[in-house]
Amino acid sequence: MKESCIDNYCMEEFTMQHLISLILKESHKPPFLYMVVYFILMIRPQVIKTYCPYCQHHTEHTIERVKKKKASELKWGQRRFRRVTAGYGGYPRPKPEGREKPTKRVHLRYRCKECGKAHQKKGVRAKRFEFKR
């Protein structure tokens, strides 16, 4: 069985509406399967209508994925790391063992079209994330 297929349903072929209809039809399956199906592929529209905490009412928002910024060399932890690893000697910390998590957190930034201010919600886990075209 491929990683992206569960019970012969390939995730690439389905949108969220298809997945919801599958869940409603096959209610005899265990509930953890639906969580697995939901988090393998997440398709979101580029523009949604949601609550803006600055305008204090529902407005249209554009969604963008948050990218990780470069870590600052001036932070205390980074300065300590550079001090400890400087000079002759081995690596001061054990290398991380084990595998990576199967899903990564997807952080989204919602930018209001009326006031132009942006806010973020809590990140969700997904194997693959894409915007609806």
What does the pLDDT look like over 6-47, one tens digit per residue? Answer: 444 444 445 556 656 655 565 555 554 444 444 577 889 999
Which residues does 113 contact at the CB level (< 8 Å), separation at least 6?
47, 59, 60, 61, 62
* Segments making up each domain of the chain, as ranges: 1-44, 45-86+102-127
So what's the pLDDT on residue 96? Answer: 76
So what's the pLDDT on residue 18? Answer: 65
- Does position 53 have pLDDT exceeding 90, yes or no? yes
The residue-averaged pLDDT of 87-98 equals 76
Q: Are 21 and 48 in contact (CB under 8 A)?
A: no
So what's the pLDDT on residue 102? Answer: 87
- Does position 120 have pLDDT exceeding 60, yes or no? yes
pLDDT bucket at 3, cuts 50 / 70 / 90: very low
So what's the pLDDT on residue 115? Answer: 95
Q: What is the CATH number of domain 45-86+102-127?
A: 3.10.450.80
